[in-house]
Structure 1
Amino acid sequence: MYLDLIAGTRPNFVKIASIIHAIDESELNFTYRLIHTGQHYDKKLSTNFFKDLKLPEPDHNLGVGSGSQAKQTAEIMTAYEKLLEDKTPDICIVVGDVTSSMACAITAKKMLVKVAHIEAGLRSYDWEMPEEINRVLIDSIADYFFTTTIEAKTYLLSTGKDANSVYHVGNTMIDTLVRFKQHFRKPDIWNRLDLKKDQYLVLTMHRPSNVDGLNHLEKILKSITSYRKDIPIIFPVHPRTENAMKRLKFDCSNLFLSSALDYLEFNFLVQNSKAVITDSGGITEETTVLGIPCLTIRENTERPETTEIGTNEIVGTDPKKIEDAFSRLFNNNWRKGSIPNLWDGNTGLRILRVLNQLNS
């Protein structure tokens, strides 16, 4: 079976790595071409991931780069259409909920190529999130659905999906975390600030609702940095957030900005931190498996399992809720959490086995 594997952003690379490693290590008959859309073009958010995660160079790089979501979507669709005209795969595999996945799924479907969606069935029910629109669009046209949880599978079945097309397989992002956990490495900032295990926090923000409004961004940062001035907060800055921070010029003695970190460096920081504060969905999954407390600065999540049985808690951006959460954290009253079913490092192989059965 010949597959197109679509990757365009950091989370895509982490998730698609699971499929590539499973193909390389199994005896199943799969070939593929790896297509990098170029949606993330920062070196540490894209190119270095291939080296760190032991991935081959992409067969094609569409080189889309920055731009509005409409511009990115149009350019990805146009470029991917040309690849499909040249060679048609049996299945186009898209992962997650980013623009690249949505654009390639639509293009493949219009070219009569079957689409498989890894991480299907997640919903935040927040239509202000571009990712929610992408999830719904992909799930509305995909042929095969691979879910991270049984709840996501149940949701898809409730919408009328054929039971023979929906599979609860686990989490490909966790496959990669498990595989490379022993290879996590200290970033330069660890020695530069003389950081110690459990004695600092990690902060990430990139969602437009949090970083595009400067007053709102400043309010969030003040809430996070004011509770404990003696605790360093390490803030690896996403390119989108970096632009906002330059305009904001927010200065605080315990907030330390870092350039974007490699996958292995970032997860070293996460694994050794007291807690993580984030608006990323994927990071809440990684902290759940690593057993690290996580504060989500959003009003909802498409990954409820991280709050129901994991280590994540939704605190939003209300200063009082953030303060209450910090109080429990520093008084060691945070729940330990557990790991969701099938988040065991073998999801990629389970997906290939399903696809192999479909092809037999």
Structure 2
Amino acid sequence: MATEPPSLAFVFGTRPEIIKCAPLIREAERRGMPFTLVHTGQHYSRELDDVFFEGLGLPVPDYELRVGSDTPGRQTGSMVSALDPVVTDVDPDVVVVHGDTNSTLAGAITTCKLDPALAHVEAGLRSFDRSMPEEHNRVLTDHAADYLFAPTERARRQLAEEGIEAGVWVTGNTVVDAVRQHADIAARESDVLDRLGLDDREFLLLTAHRAENVDDETRFRNVLEGVAAAAADNDLDCVFPAHPRSVGRIREFHIDIPAPIRVVDPEDFLSFLLLEDRAAVVVTDSGGVQEEAAVLGTPCVTVRDNTERQETVEIGANRLAGTDPEDIRQSVAEALSAPTDWEPPYGDGHAAERILDVLQEVGDGDD
């Protein structure tokens, strides 16, 4: 006798979460699994989000909570208050959260107080830096979850070291699914290279948005100085699709952007993916960009003192440079001269299938 598939609620609040959830949403659609999409509004713009979901070919969210910006504690508390009646009303079998955002933690807290099971995609990542709010979010969510989907064996081992061994599956990372599903579409449909006047492998792509970098004037200036020097050293153009937080700090600190860095507006996902794919090197403080660059075969330099994506460093796809300008210059030079034939560490692009294979068992009464 066939059993009913489990009902799922995907809770997310930032565009990186949506990108990584997209393969899961598509796979749930393919399998006929009922699901509800809940957008907390941690990062929210009606105009940008509508275009974003359309560009990814995803259904618009069923609930848009529009919580917006606030201090981390107030924002998380507001999300919990807004999510409680939604999860109660929808009453899914499983709430699925992803990664390490405030939306992730809010979804975890809400679910723990209600009936559904909690699934955490991208479980077990650790930077071991408790000054990072993301570290608190991912640790707390892992210890609350019923289903933990670790992207790598390293992540599984870390969970075991913290006493979490039941309910853990190594699935790979849905970032690989997402990149592979969209890279060809990006190459066909995006005109970003022509629009920005860039040639393949002749430019450096910079992203910087983390508070520890852009909210600290000295660190932010050092990153820009080091990246500008590295680009000039290697005769590369440099584009910086600047996050609104970064633009605000550039104005607040009265920073004159050093040549050859060119600040441009943020790009949609497909255009940004093409920039990552065609760059000579990426310099970033984003965890997701570290992963995406490794999948695409583009060398990466991370302007942080630590990373929860240690696998990218181990295979030679990524270098930790910190924010000293000379260290950034040296790391970029090393990245450009090193081989790029590494094996991506995050799986084969079928993580979403493996995750839903496990969650399908909820419908068979194995919860």
- TM-score, length-scaled by structure 1: 0.94
Match of 1:340 in 2: 345
1:92 aligns with 2:95: yes
Q: Which moved more, 1:41-50 or 1:80-89?
A: 41-50
One-letter identity of the residue aligned with 1:104: G
Query: Per the alignment, in what secondary structure is the counterpart of residue 184 of structure 1?
Result: helix
Distance in 1 between the 2:304 and 2:107 partners?
28
Check conservation: 2:177, 2:349, Cα contact below 8 A.
Answer: yes
Distance in 1 between the 2:79 and 2:362 partners?
28
Per-residue displacement from partner, 1:37-70 (whole Å, max 9, x unpaired)?
1111146863332111110010000011122112
Task: Go from structure 1 to structure 2 and tell me whether the alpha carbon gap of 1:117 and 1:310 turns closer, same or farther (over 3 Å shift).
Answer: farther
Per-residue displacement from partner, 1:213-240 (whole Å, max 9, x unpaired)?
1222112111110234342111011111
Match of 2:18 in 1: 13
Match of 2:312 in 1: 306
Alpha-carbon distance, 1:309 to partner? 1.7
One-letter identity of the residue aligned with 2:163: G
Distance in 2 between the 1:94 and 1:296 partners?
26
Alpha-carbon distance, 1:158 to partner? 2.6
Per-residue displacement from partner, 1:258-284 (whole Å, max 9, x unpaired)?
111100000111101100000011111
Query: Per the alignment, in what secondary structure is the counterpart of residue 95 of structure 2?
Result: strand
Query: Per the alignment, in what secondary structure is the counterpart of residue 56 of structure 1?
Result: coil
Match of 1:122 in 2: 125
Percent identity over the alignment is: 38
1:292 aligns with 2:298: yes
One-letter identity of the residue aligned with 2:332: F
Check conservation: 1:328, 1:334, Cα contact below 8 A.
Answer: no
1:191-206 equivalence runs, <5 A? 191-206=194-209
Per-residue displacement from partner, 1:48-106 (whole Å, max 9, x unpaired)?
32111110010000011122112211111111011123231111100000000101110
1:92-171 equivalence runs, <5 A? 92-163=95-166, 165-171=167-173
Task: Go from structure 1 to structure 2 and tell me whether the alpha carbon gap of 1:355 and 1:193 turns closer, same or farther (over 3 Å shift).
Answer: closer
Alpha-carbon distance, 1:111 to partner? 1.5
Match of 1:232 in 2: 237
5+ residue gaps, structure 1: none
Q: Which moved more, 1:332-341 or 1:139-148?
A: 332-341
Check conservation: 1:10, 1:45, Cα contact below 8 A.
Answer: no
Count of aligned pairs between the two proteins: 355
One-letter identity of the residue aligned with 1:166: V
5+ residue gaps, structure 2: 1-5
Query: Per the alignment, in what secondary structure is the counterpart of residue 226 of structure 1?
Result: helix
Distance in 1 between the 2:316 and 2:54 partners?
30
1:274 aligns with 2:284: no
Alpha-carbon distance, 1:310 to partner? 5.0
Q: Which moved more, 1:40-49 or 1:257-266?
A: 40-49
Task: Go from structure 1 to structure 2 and tell me whether the alpha carbon gap of 1:43 and 1:220 turns closer, same or farther (over 3 Å shift).
Answer: farther
Per-residue displacement from partner, 1:135-166 (whole Å, max 9, x unpaired)?
01101111110011011112212322243x00
One-letter identity of the residue aligned with 1:338: E
Check conservation: 1:218, 1:250, Cα contact below 8 A.
Answer: no
Distance in 2 between the 1:155 and 1:252 partners?
41
Which residue, out of 4, 7, 25, partners 2:9?
4
Distance in 1 between the 2:170 and 2:245 partners?
33
Check conservation: 1:279, 1:298, Cα contact below 8 A.
Answer: yes
1:34-73 equivalence runs, <5 A? 34-42=37-45, 46-73=49-76
Task: Go from structure 1 to structure 2 and tell me whether the alpha carbon gap of 1:48 and 1:174 turns closer, same or farther (over 3 Å shift).
Answer: farther
Query: Per the alignment, in what secondary structure is the counterpart of residue 230 of structure 2?
Result: coil
Check conservation: 2:207, 2:241, Cα contact below 8 A.
Answer: yes
Match of 1:243 in 2: 248
Match of 2:269 in 1: 263
Check conservation: 2:297, 2:340, Cα contact below 8 A.
Answer: no
Distance in 2 between the 1:135 and 1:278 partners?
21
One-letter identity of the residue aligned with 1:298: R
Query: Per the alignment, in what secondary structure is the counterpart of residue 177 of structure 1?
Result: helix
One-letter identity of the residue aligned with 1:105: A
One-letter identity of the residue aligned with 1:312: N
Alpha-carbon distance, 1:321 to partner? 1.8
Query: Per the alignment, in what secondary structure is the counterpart of residue 301 of structure 2?
Result: strand
One-letter identity of the residue aligned with 2:182: F
Query: Per the alignment, in what secondary structure is the counterpart of residue 21 of structure 1?
Result: helix
Task: Go from structure 1 to structure 2 and tell me whether the alpha carbon gap of 1:162 and 1:226 turns closer, same or farther (over 3 Å shift).
Answer: closer
Match of 1:254 in 2: 260
One-letter identity of the residue aligned with 2:355: I
One-letter identity of the residue aligned with 1:71: R
Per-residue displacement from partner, 1:284-331 (whole Å, max 9, x unpaired)?
11111110000000111111111112511111112232121233244x
Check conservation: 1:202, 1:235, Cα contact below 8 A.
Answer: yes
Which residue, out of 180, 185, 188, partners 1:183?
185
Task: Go from structure 1 to structure 2 and tell me whether the alpha carbon gap of 1:192 and 1:33 turns closer, same or farther (over 3 Å shift).
Answer: closer
